[in-house]
Structure 1
């Protein structure tokens, strides 16, 4: 007897037992709610969810499966498969729609080793294994809270986690590629002596890029968290100021220097809240930000000797969405084919971001306009100044760089100006 036939027989027996129990209940309960006494409903799907479902037959063995098993089957699917599965048939559509909350929770439990998203505290630790990315991401970006208590678990929420993971992973790959490209260009003697053939050199660069990429990706999640939190905090503060303006409590627009001080306070608040209350996390994120900004600066050398205007980088980090960073590095590398067209598209999108921000009606009402004055006049206004002061307050200014071993006794160092001297190649 084949395994599938055995499964069908066991399912039929389980279904018969459940039906027998249901027939022993009061007839009015059976009539009004045939799934009320499903022994699995409390653990996998809520009673309210089951009550909504009036199963549509599919004329297949699928129909004899208990709904709790159907939920588990869908939870094992990839998140990108769930929306197309809704189009398969009416039965799938109704089940996926009705049990979206239960399927999403089950999906997360499977990928979080039996847990659900929870607030980050100083005692939590996270691995760097790619399969555990969803644990860190879902804790950093938890689902929306419900007005009735608890959280709202939807396919859209899980898809947002996947989108963030893909953005960060791709950006880290581009940065790792640039690090190794620069290493190969600056160490030609080492490359030729250690790897005589071109194939050997290419294999080394490929392996080293993968190791940097692997190490950097979790750190980029914290960077993304900071940038998204800072954007949200500015928006919420603007809404508060707008209400004050409408109520007559804001007689004059806020001048640029006061606005800058307000934004700095928002950053301080973020860095003094989890996950950055963990000093090791703060330092690692500081190094990740330093690497990101240094390679943005490296790709655009100053036109003249001296201090360059890096306000465009601060605008890229604060005004534009995170995907714009990806577009920039993709255009720089030429990953999408037509490099010239990619650069043109990036500049067009970046210009639209800045224009939309400048024309924002709410900002114009509560903040004083300052011609030729950027919201963040220097890249130091975003993260770096506040982070260094926070590290100083924790007596952590002197710290070690991140070590990524790309070959025996050859580490790549991710660090900052305050790192203690270490042996290795500084990325």
Structure 2
């Protein structure tokens, strides 16, 4: 690149910001060089990206037998918000599994090409540039660009300190963050984003806490958004019960009467996690009482139009109760087994982790403490970079807590939803990197 190109960029400031996001995250380099024991033994072992490959074989077997694409899926079909068939199939499926207080209807759903576009859409719809959206720490790292990079909303990160982020006491932390932002920035907070079940902590919010957060949103007329992309990836924890695991209950299952204006409540879901199908790029925004949101989404649905092929495959899948019921049970069983195996490995090597998980496919682990025990010359403020450098040199990728808003240094996220051989290789390389 020439000097003039360095000093006189030919793209917008927002484009340069997006480029910086990529530069600071090694994820894309890792994804293009993935380890395979026979084909690419020198590649990265990737346990940093939230993918579940445990049930790929039965899912592919089901879909490949069913695939016969009707010609209408080569057209614009029923529009950018998803086909009528898919919205009906998804509404019926979610009624069976999320037990909404008010049954879902196809008209309540807006289909998007993944949940990330759904997050971006609700940020755009509820907050003008510079206005705030509350997000508790630690958080799914990509929430930040999803909500702010193009919509221009400002993510208001909520600190908890020693307070359990899943407790009723944490509700006051959200309120304080809201008041501080509105006082200092003289801008409104417009929404609260909840990841339920939680990424990266692998826990569920209790019904009581969800209701208290809804009451907080009602008090300040703030939208309550529950990202429930891991809703069906809840499993039995047989190895650690402190804090006691909380069973998942969807925000949709709560009768909102006397709690919050139903126009302020929205739920996100998709196939990426519960069905291990990130590549299908299919999600949904569920809003049962906000017609203004639905009208706004029609205006921008062209920019998140799901592929007709994904629409068709998802319809076939969600219409088959026998297969999906079996799939969910088997997936939950395998996730539980992988969690146990990973925990036992961590304990064997004296690596601390956040206990009490029973959802999603993560462990939140303190690699910094182990690294400093082995390398006493390293200062704690250096540990995140040192550990990440060592991991990458050892060709294993974990997500760093620095990108997840961790309030303490040294924490990383392990994704354990991988076949045993792959997971074993990742854990082995991780321990070697620390040593």
Quick one: higher RCO (CA 8 Å, sep 6+), 1 or 2? 2
Q: Give the TM bin, normalised by the shorter chain.
A: under 0.3
Structure 1 or 2: more strand by fraction: 2
Provide TM-score, normalisation by structure 1.
0.23
Provide TM-score, normalisation by structure 2.
0.23
